[in-house]
Chain A
């Protein structure tokens, strides 16, 4: 039996050589716990994220858009399933994780606490929210934990597809009537800063988070800081907004030749922390909806378990 130091050295040897940690490998307990938290919260975000878009399935303005939206929300449930499965390789169960979500002991992305007030919001979520998610998640395809990295490869492919569909939906609006274009601009006005806030608190300053970043980088879970990713997202998104003919709601947004990046106004981090703590526009509604679906479905899950047990008993009797 190898000693703690040797096992830790073996772990860091894999991480430092850009290898993959697999479920049966030794890993520091803190690494395991951090990954469980991060993957679970990622899974929860997919599940809660079905609600704001699902809100428009019944009202989608063409059958083609309705089909695209249904397929997208179905994909999100599928992403949730992959991610819960990845988390389960770390020794927790999906039921435990859902319980943590339902009792507010684990979080989900702040963005899904904003309401979808018009059809254009569905396009804006595809373009901006999925765009921000991809910016965050593409580096995770190289994350040190194998099951998570592999889940992210599959998820990122589908998310890029959704992001293009969202952009195309907004493009159709901006090429449409004055009312449609106004609807698209209003959606951008409301979703811009919440999307920037998806990257988390700034790297420096009094609001910096509890020091997860440095440790996660050492472990090969995180490869870029929040502000680096936010900047990358802004640089990618501004030219797209120009193609759409929409105005980003930031008077101080401009290209900085010296930096080779856009300068922009940071999101309101006080608002971000309020939303993360549960006091955003839809936090109570989103959680109540999720808990209600789970609670009202309990009898169905119990029936499935009882039926499976009866079938097993029957098979055993027949075999005996």
Chain B
């Protein structure tokens, strides 16, 4: 169970790192090429430690690459939010704000995990994610309170990602009450309130409303993904799978 929890958090970071890597050399300004690559690199670092830990806990000899490259989409445990396409810069920033604010609250609490590795990952990552959250916040403010067009796009970006928010706080039985009771995992439901307070403040300052009405989507933690993930994995895994057993 513990391995499934580490895997889920690692998959979140890995898949979002893959998405942000797509922005490199395409960003609106050079500073954003640097920032988005930097965030992708932080997330990839988190993913590598978490996947390595998941493989060790599982005890079947799978390392970070075996887990990243040799699982199919039905075996990935990431939330749907992180696999959504980048869309335009506003959609990417909407996704970043939602996810970084969630990950910040999660890691902040996970520092007290009774699992030493999870506590150590969280201790390092919470500082990185604090920066990610600030970066997304600044852009949501600029786009929400910038021009008419940027505001229109920011509203559309929030509309696109909002159905995937609930899954962050109710993720289909992973981690499960036992792991939470042992102090290994954080009950995601407890993150909703501080998340709502933070994101609500940012949206209010930007003159934006949290979207309402769309039915919540979920299933990622059980391996039930959107159609987007299969393509992402096909691209990510292709070369590795073409040369089974090779060292890179």
Contact = CB atoms under 8 A, between A and B. Distances in A.
Contacts of B145: 307, 310
Interface string A160-179: 00000000010011011101
B248 A65 contact: yes
Secondary structure of the A contact surface, majority rule: helix
Given A81-B34, A119-B239, A303 B142 contact: yes
A146 interface: no
Given A77-B30, A296-B28, A63 B41 contact: no
B248 A70 contact: no
B202 interface: no
Interface stretch (A51-59, A186-194, A220-228): A51-59
A63 B147 contact: no
Nearest to A71: B41
Contacts of B149: 299, 302-303
Contacts of B30: 47, 77, 80-81, 84
A73 B32 CA distance: 12
B236 A59 contact: yes
Interface stretch (B44-52, B117-125, B159-167, B210-218): B44-52
A78 interface: yes
Contacts of B235: 58-59
Contact of B33 (A50, A61, A179): A50
A297 B24 contact: no
Contacts of B65: 62-63
B38 interface: yes
Contact of A59 (B31, B45, B143, B238): B238
Given A58-B21, A63-B48, A304-B142, A297 B41 contact: no
B203 interface: no
Given A54-B25, A177-B243, A299-B147, A67 B45 contact: yes
Secondary structure of the B contact surface, majority rule: helix
A61 B24 contact: no
B200 interface: no
A310 B206 CA distance: 12
Contacts of B68: 63
B82 to A, nearest CB: 15
B24 A54 contact: yes
A320 B89 CA distance: 36
Interface residues of B, number: 49
Interface string B206-248: 0000000000000000000000000000011011100101111
Contacts of A177: 243, 245-246
Nearest to B235: A58
B48 to A, nearest CB: 5
Given A61-B248, A299-B149, A304-B146, A73 B37 contact: yes
A66 interface: yes
Contact of B246 (A67, A176, A292, A303): A176
A243 interface: no
A62 B31 contact: no
A180 B246 contact: yes
A224 B215 CA distance: 67
Interface string A177-205: 10110000000000000000000000000
8 contacts: A47-B25, A58-B18, A60-B239, A63-B51, A64-B48, A73-B24, A299-B147, A303-B150
Interface of B: 14, 18, 21-22, 24-34, 37-38, 40-41, 44-45, 47-48, 51, 64-65, 68-69, 88-89, 141-143, 145-147, 149-150, 153, 235-236, 238-240, 243, 245-248
Given A59-B238, A74-B41, A301-B28, 9 more contacts: A61-B69, A62-B240, A65-B248, A71-B41, A176-B247, A177-B243, A293-B27, A294-B28, A300-B150
> Which 6 residue pairs are nearest across A and B when measured between Cβ atoms?
A297-B28, A303-B146, A303-B150, A74-B37, A300-B28, A50-B25
